[in-house]
Structure 1
């Protein structure tokens, strides 16, 4: 898709889709946004939060970055964009749920296993340090001889768990989770099949969101 296609797409949105949601947009302007869910997802163009969840405008407050990473709380860190989004969602919008959604075939997770020396990727290199814990855990846990594919898939899932842990380093997130007004959820989306898994705290495994049985 090229820029001309996006402009044509806007024309279709203005003439059709906007009219469908016109009253909703008016309400969202007059009443303000009231999303109940913060969705932290990857910037990967193949992973669309609204498409996956069949959500309407105003339903999700979305943060996207490469690797769906969550920097630990630190007033002096360099990752203010994601941290500010989390704080705003929790303390201003009063969301009741935060979803961290990882996915298959993630280039960021693949990147945590590679040495990045390109000076044009200085910020990418720094950002991917947030995936080191997941990488190290998998390398220490996975049996020798396992395929690279299995290693990456495991790291994609385990990274979600570590990002959930990082969320709890935010004082207000931790407080609201403790009092029961905020829930943290880990999801894993399979691009090729459209399947969605959720992290089950009790079994410490990812399970199908919807069972076919």
Structure 2
């Protein structure tokens, strides 16, 4: 591989700073994690967005969350077709191997992937309709969610509603996985949907009894 380059200097400096401080102060903890393996209590499925920092929001330590990130925090429906399914593989490993007790799907404000889905479904982004668009084909997962909010008159409200539909769509698709449904039925697993407003730091969780998101 001749195209790979050494790490940028700023990342090298940050690593060296971490190794000299955080790691040096917690050597025993890191060695324990290495020797004993991981036992996360929860899986978190969040967006790739660099502004979404799950461990900071929940004050989590290393080893506490099994985190999977993708565009718009989406879970595809269960489709064992032999193709590559990174998200589905992560869910399978979390539930069947790690035996996590919770799966949390976390959406957020200003999601670029959701906005792309909105624009694609409303005819404003024909480039995403191309078969060659990885983003577009991934956002096809959210098309049913767009159908539920497309009649909201205000565009900003429509996009925010679609961000929450991304969470609900993922929760519905999670339950199409037999091993997820089985674990939920036995009480070994619970699924949760949350949405974070990046600007004001608020967190809303979905309450099935009210069929809506409420501030935590």
TM-score after normalising by structure 1: 0.91
1:88 to 90, 93, 97: 93
1:5: Cα distance to partner? 2.3
1:76 to 81, 87, 92: 81
Pairs aligned (count): 204
2:215 corresponds in structure 1 to 208
1:135 and 1:14 map into 2 onto residues whose CA distance is: 46
1:130 corresponds in structure 2 to 141
1:78: Cα distance to partner? 4.1
- After TM superposition, the runs of 4+ consecutive aligned structure 1 residues lying more than 3 A away are 118-121
2:3 corresponds in structure 1 to none
1:50 to 55, 59, 82: 55
Deviation by residue 1:79-136 (Cα, 9 ceiling, x = unmatched): 5111000000000000000000000000000001222426796211111111111111
Summarize the Cα distance change of 1:170–1:105 in structure 2 as closer, same or farther, 3 Å threshold.
Answer: same
1:43: Cα distance to partner? 0.1
Matching of residue 117 in structure 1 with residue 133 in structure 2: no
TM-score after normalising by structure 2: 0.89
Secondary structure (helix, strand or coil) at the match of 2:127 reads coil
Q: Say which is worse superposed, 27-36 or 62-71, in terms of deviation.
A: 27-36
Deviation by residue 1:35-66 (Cα, 9 ceiling, x = unmatched): 01000000000001111111111010000001
1:25: Cα distance to partner? 1.3
Deviation by residue 1:162-213 (Cα, 9 ceiling, x = unmatched): 110000000000001011110000000111011111001110111111xxxx
Summarize the Cα distance change of 1:172–1:5 in structure 2 as closer, same or farther, 3 Å threshold.
Answer: same
2:4 corresponds in structure 1 to none
RMSD: 1.7
Summarize the Cα distance change of 1:66–1:77 in structure 2 as closer, same or farther, 3 Å threshold.
Answer: farther
2:30 corresponds in structure 1 to 25
2:104 and 2:10 map into 1 onto residues whose CA distance is: 31
Matching of residue 185 in structure 1 with residue 192 in structure 2: yes
1:69 and 1:77 map into 2 onto residues whose CA distance is: 19
Structure 1: state its 5+ residue gaps. Answer: none
Q: Is the 8 A contact 1:39 1:61 kept in 2?
A: yes
